[in-house]
Amino acid sequence: NAGVMQNPRHLVRRRGQEARLRCSPMKGHSHVYWYRQLPEEGLKFMVYLQKENIIDESGMPKERFSAEFPKEGPSILRIQQVVRGDSAAYFCASSPLPQANTEAFFGQGTRLTVV
């Protein structure tokens, strides 16, 4: 049973470009959570999605950031018109039930560098 798969592992974008980060949850998991980790910081919650639904996006910046988890395929975190401050590690976690009832497993992350 493969773990949470994120790709790419590393992504370099110029300012103004778009970044697309993908997350394939563990098999059987329909709940996905995205977290951002700035250098020397802990992870901060961004968004919680179930299949085809955004449940909570309160931790995601209102502009330039969007997330989806379609019926088929991975969850996507999209950052438009990236700026240097978007440089961070972005982690995805998945769980079979809402996280309050079970532990979530994290992927290896995508390290975004904006140059």
Residue ranges in contact with other proteins by CB under 8 A: 4, 6, 31, 33, 35, 40-45, 48, 55-56, 58-59, 91, 98-100, 103-109, 111
Q: Are strands 110-114 and 105-106 parallel, antiparallel or unpaired?
A: unpaired
Least CB distance from residue 36 to other proteins, whole Å? 11
Q: Give the nearer residue to other proteins in terms of CB position, either 33 or 65.
A: 33
Instruction: Return the number of the residue (86 or 94) whose C-beta is nearest other proteins.
Output: 94
Residue type, 97: L
Separation of alpha carbons 88 and 110, rounded Å: 8
